[in-house]
Amino acid sequence: MMNDEALVQAKKHILSVSVKPDTVMTRGKGDWLWDTNGRRYLDFIAGWAVNALGHSPRVLKRALARQAGRLVNASPTFYNDVQAEFAELLAKHSGFDRVFFCSTGAEANESAVKLARKYGALHRNGAYGIVTLTGSFHGRTLATMSASGKAAFKPLFEPKVSGFTHVPINDIAALDAAVDDSVCAVMLEPVQGEGGVYPADAAYLEAARRITRERNVLLIFDEVQTGLGRTGRLFAFQRHGIIPDILTLGKGIGGGFPLAAMLCPEALNIFTPGEQGGTYTGQPLAMAAGLAVVGEIIKRDLSGRAETMGALIQKRLHGLAARFPICNIRGEGLLIAFDMPGIDTAKLRDACFADGLIINAPQPNTIRFMPALTVAEKSILHMFRILERVLERTIHTSS
């Protein structure tokens, strides 16, 4: 049988980097994914907070098909017209002047680290230290793993890239103490995504901005997960009006096409030719995807929609909390998590998957939702029906 064959091939030849269910996905539409057996799944992880417009949206299909017929790749040697148009769109809506395009969030953050070190070399007597947060996630290249404050990364792949120190989130005194003469930048996620959806509070972000500005240190916001409407604003930094010096974007920016970006003001347009680049920087297909997806997010105000739908999900979760051990409901827009003390949420996630619902368990007692920004209200209601059914089956109700 075809479907079993694909599973056998995958299990035999795909390098093992994570534990996966015995399922091979083959098709997606809107909020739904189908496997090779024709089973469908309601998708509340949306390509890992990536498919902003859902699966195979018409605008993305059209943009890619059109661009494939015009120009697939011109080489990084030249500007191309879609790159120019997309850079202008991002600049206009973010307030930044310059954009470096790349393919993954890790690469965008790696780029930010390099830019911060260049700034340190030029303006901070060679300072190269970067302060990041405990529990943060910045990617899987060696430098971004070193930057990440994820405990499980600590013993891996030594020696790490040096120069990174970690301080706890929302602890202003710890940040204040860490930003000394050896530091060129502070890097943080406005809402920690992989860490379990922990927002940095407004007072902390304000303090981070004040401390870095006073000491001529750069403030980098990693908005790979929070950017492009996910948190109910086009960019998460807009919620509290704290403007970073460097902004990194990824995930939702391409709606599923590999695309990421680093943005900065004109004053940080300081790389010397040869110091930064990449074969796929400004790749026309990626630019066309980004232009279509970001254009759609803006045109349809999907940020505002994420805020509304997120509020609906949080309200329903508070309702469920009366009957099940659900607490610490948190998040912004359509990046939402909650804790279930004493419950193995990886098992709960697997039980939901068996019932046709895809959710994420970022921590042993935590569940996270990150559906498409276009998630239908009826999909949200359907998700709660499945979740409730699974909870009733697997957990003793308190009533």
Q: Which range in 187-195, 230-238, 264-272, 344-352 contacts ligand PLP by CB under 6 A?
A: 187-195
Q: Which is nearer to ligand PLP, 191 or 317 (CB)?
A: 191
Tokens coding 236:
């998460």
**What Rg do the C-alpha atoms of the chain give, in angstroms?**
21
Among the listed residues 31, 222, 296, 307, the single contact to ligand PLP using CB under 6 A: 222
Cα(first)–Cα(last) distance of the chain, in Å? 47
Count residues contacting ligand PLP (CB under 6 A)? 15
Q: Does 189 bind ligand PLP (CB under 6 A)?
A: yes
Cβ proximity to ligand PLP: between 98 and 251 the closer is 251
Residue 105 vs 120, nearer CB to ligand PLP = 105
Residue nearest to ligand PLP (CB): 105
Which of 33, 205, 208, 224 contacts ligand PLP by CB under 6 A? 224
Residues whose CB is less than 8 angstroms from the CB of residue 215 and which lie 6 or more positions away in sequence, other chains included = 179, 183
Q: Choose which of 118, 124, 138, 166 interacts with ligand PLP (CB under 6 A).
A: 138
Q: Dihedral of CA 358/363/367/369: which sign? A: negative
Quick check: 250 binds ligand PLP (CB under 6 A)?
A: yes
Contacts of 46 by beta carbon, 8 Å cutoff, 6+ apart: 52, 54, 370, 371, 372, 375
One residue of 30, 129, 139, 229 binding ligand PLP per CB under 6 A: 139
Nearer to ligand PLP, 189 or 307 (CB): 189
Other CB atoms closer than 10 Å to residue 170's CB: what's the count? Answer: 16
Q: Which is nearer to ligand PLP, 24 or 45 (CB)?
A: 45
Q: Is 104 in the site for ligand PLP (CB under 6 A)?
A: yes
Catalytic residue positions, numbered: 137, 222, 251
Which range in 58-66, 74-82, 186-194, 374-382 contacts ligand PLP by CB under 6 A? Answer: 186-194
Q: Which of 239, 255, 245, 256 is closest to 222 using CA atoms? A: 245
- Considering only 31, 35, 110, 194, the residue that binds ligand PLP (CB under 6 A) is 194
Among 54, 105, 190, 232, binds ligand PLP (CB under 6 A): 105
Tell whether residue 137 is a contact of ligand PLP (CB under 6 A): yes
Rounded to whole angstroms, the Cα distance separating 324 from 321 reads 5
CA distances in angstroms from 70 to 94, 103, 254, 293, listed in the order given = 28, 21, 19, 19
| Rounded CA separation 224/335 (Å) | 13
Tell me how far apart the 2 most distant CA atoms of the chain are, in Å. 66
How far from the centroid of its chain's Cα atoms is residue 22's Cα?
Answer: 26
- Taking the complex as a whole, the smallest distance from the CB of residue 193 to ligand PLP amounts, in Å, to 4
> Which one, 193 or 229, has the nearer CB to ligand PLP?
193
Residue choice 106, 185, 337, 383 for contact with ligand PLP (CB under 6 A): 106
CA distance 297 to 289: 12
d(CA 64, CA 176): 47
Pick the binder of ligand PLP from 51, 111, 146, 225 (CB under 6 A). 225
Using CB under 6 A, list all residues that contact ligand PLP.
104-106, 109, 137-139, 189, 193-194, 222, 224-225, 250-251
